[in-house]
Structure 1
Amino acid sequence: MIKKVASLANSDIKNIRTDPMLLLAFIGPLILIVVYHTGIPVGLSILESQFNVDMRLYEKLVFLVFLFMLPLITGMLGGFLMLEEKESQLITYYSITPLGQKGYVLFRLTVPFLITFVSVLLFMKFSHFSSMPIIWFIFTAIITSMLAPLISLFLASFATTRVDGFALSKMSSLLIVAPFILFLVPSGMQWIGGVLLTFWITKLFQSAWSNPSEFIVHLVVSLCAHLIVLLFLCRRFSRQIA
């Protein structure tokens, strides 16, 4: 079992090293973290001086957009790897090995989650928007990181080729729209964004920042929404590779 997991991980490393797109996706989270913490403050300062606008009003919006890009990039990486194995029938091979179908799916969901979780922790740790109780800090990081395996499963479940995967990955980018809805759209119309998982994560952060009494409610709603989507995608993908 361990040997099969190691073999699968080694295969991933080779694919990432030889495919520039996958390599960029792999180091993408680190690039985003560096850009956010070094370039964004300078950029906001320039915009503020040029247009005489208080950019502090938009700092949380920028924070959330960059935060959601972390699971988006990692999830796409995992999804493209799964699509490649799907096209080459490697998934069928893995299903008859000691690793098994369940072991394969578990591996493919766990790795994007863990990579994103570490990235999110680092991103939030060095941000001044992370001032919240440590348990809330961990929960928000976990919920945000759950997006990565969901995006991987979404691409692997609905795309048949990597070309399809590129098209669907653009659709996945709509997840970044949620913060704009909650920050810029009138409150009475904001609930149209409720179909997006990132809408509930944004609500979770907003409650942690300004309305702590609603944090648990938004945490439960967000967790349930993620689990429902995960169950649906797992069943769909399992039927495809059965």
Structure 2
Amino acid sequence: MNIRIILNSFKADFRFISRDPMLLMAFLAPFFLILFLRLLIPLLSEYIYARTSFQLLDYYPIVAISMVSIIPMLFGMVYAFILLDENDANILQVISVTPAGKRDFLYMRLLIPAFLSFIMVLFTIFLTDPVTGEGWLRSVFISLLLSTQSSFAFLFIGCIAANKVQGLAMSKLYGIFLVAVPLGLLLHHPWNYLAFFSPLYWISWAWIIPSTGESLMYGLIATVITGGCIVIFFRYFLKKHSG
């Protein structure tokens, strides 16, 4: 896959995003999440503590991890909507003349949001410090794990939805995977079993657990779940557009 083709595709994608207010807001939302974690959470914590003696900052890691986990979904959703628009315009039929063409096209569509997610998640971690003292290697590891969720969200929305209305519905349905993060971290055994289906649950534990060995194990579980889902949706996409 040519780097120049990927860069040209990204430029065209950004022009498309800039003309759609909803997609532009979703694309820029990670910056608002950073402001929320850096500025509003401390102020909100002081306000709540002054009135209830409840210390919100004690739960900052859970809040921050939950917020950062949203970032891959946002990029995946944006590119899923671009895919739906390309499908409506019959661009897929023009580009995907051969099976190899379809695969290369989908590889590119998977790569760009994953790369953007990796950069943005890593940037957000360094600015907001969700897990104090985790070290840069753990930050890179978690950023890589979360970047795969962008590809998963892209396929989850783009492969199942037939139009933008259905795409919005699928984006909301993806929220089930996100809710598993705070619930999985807050609930005790055996109720945390309810969150085992979500790769984000395992990533959150890979992030917060002090043990390096356990972190790698949880990361591996998340990778297996995500990889399996991506393979299934990837094959479904190729079959769906084989005509």
**Which amino acid is the alignment partner of residue 38 of structure 1?**
L
Equivalence map 1:1-242=2 (5 Å): 4-96=5-97, 100-128=101-129, 129-207=131-209, 210-242=210-242
Of residues 216-225 and 2-11 in structure 1, the stretch that sits farther from structure 2 once superposed is 2-11
- Once the two structures are TM-superposed, the CA of residue 112 in structure 1 deviates from its matched residue by 0.6
**Which amino acid is the alignment partner of residue 49 of structure 1?**
A
Aligned in 2, Cα 1:10/1:214: closer, same or farther, shift over 3 Å? Answer: closer
Q: Deviations over 1:168-211 (max 9, x none)?
A: 1100122221222223322221111111111111121232xx34
Name the SS for the 2:39 alignment partner: helix
Contact conserved, 1:178 with 1:202, CA < 8 A, in 2?
no
- Once the two structures are TM-superposed, the CA of residue 6 in structure 1 deviates from its matched residue by 4.9
- Once the two structures are TM-superposed, the CA of residue 82 in structure 1 deviates from its matched residue by 0.7
- Once the two structures are TM-superposed, the CA of residue 3 in structure 1 deviates from its matched residue by 6.2
- Once the two structures are TM-superposed, the CA of residue 127 in structure 1 deviates from its matched residue by 2.8
Aligned in 2, Cα 1:8/1:222: closer, same or farther, shift over 3 Å? Answer: same
Structure 1, unpaired ranges of 5+: none
Identity, in percent, stands at 21
Name the SS for the 2:190 alignment partner: helix
Contact conserved, 2:10 with 2:112, CA < 8 A, in 1?
no
Q: Deviations over 1:101-120 (max 9, x none)?
A: 12211111111111111111
**Which amino acid is the alignment partner of residue 232 of structure 1?**
I
Task: Measure the CA separation in 2 of the matches of 1:221 and 1:145.
Answer: 15
Aligned in 2, Cα 1:173/1:44: closer, same or farther, shift over 3 Å? Answer: same
Contact conserved, 2:42 with 2:57, CA < 8 A, in 1?
no
**Normalised TM-score (structure 1):** 0.91
Task: Measure the CA separation in 2 of the matches of 1:59 and 1:226.
Answer: 26
Contact conserved, 2:69 with 2:146, CA < 8 A, in 1?
yes
- Once the two structures are TM-superposed, the CA of residue 87 in structure 1 deviates from its matched residue by 1.8
- Once the two structures are TM-superposed, the CA of residue 4 in structure 1 deviates from its matched residue by 4.9
**Which amino acid is the alignment partner of residue 70 of structure 1?**
I
Task: Measure the CA separation in 2 of the matches of 1:42 and 1:85.
Answer: 43
Name the SS for the 1:53 alignment partner: coil
Contact conserved, 2:37 with 2:128, CA < 8 A, in 1?
no
**Normalised TM-score (structure 2):** 0.91
Cα RMSD for the two superposed structures: 2.0
Contact conserved, 1:25 with 1:73, CA < 8 A, in 2?
yes
Q: How many residues align?
A: 240
- Once the two structures are TM-superposed, the CA of residue 32 in structure 1 deviates from its matched residue by 1.5
- Once the two structures are TM-superposed, the CA of residue 236 in structure 1 deviates from its matched residue by 0.9
Task: Measure the CA separation in 1 of the matches of 2:45 and 2:147.
Answer: 27
Aligned in 2, Cα 1:14/1:221: closer, same or farther, shift over 3 Å? Answer: same
Task: Measure the CA separation in 1 of the matches of 2:208 and 2:137.
Answer: 16
- Once the two structures are TM-superposed, the CA of residue 96 in structure 1 deviates from its matched residue by 2.6
Task: Measure the CA separation in 2 of the matches of 1:124 and 1:3.
Answer: 29
- Once the two structures are TM-superposed, the CA of residue 56 in structure 1 deviates from its matched residue by 2.9
Contact conserved, 2:205 with 2:218, CA < 8 A, in 1?
yes
Task: Measure the CA separation in 1 of the matches of 2:42 and 2:110.
Answer: 34
- Once the two structures are TM-superposed, the CA of residue 130 in structure 1 deviates from its matched residue by 4.8
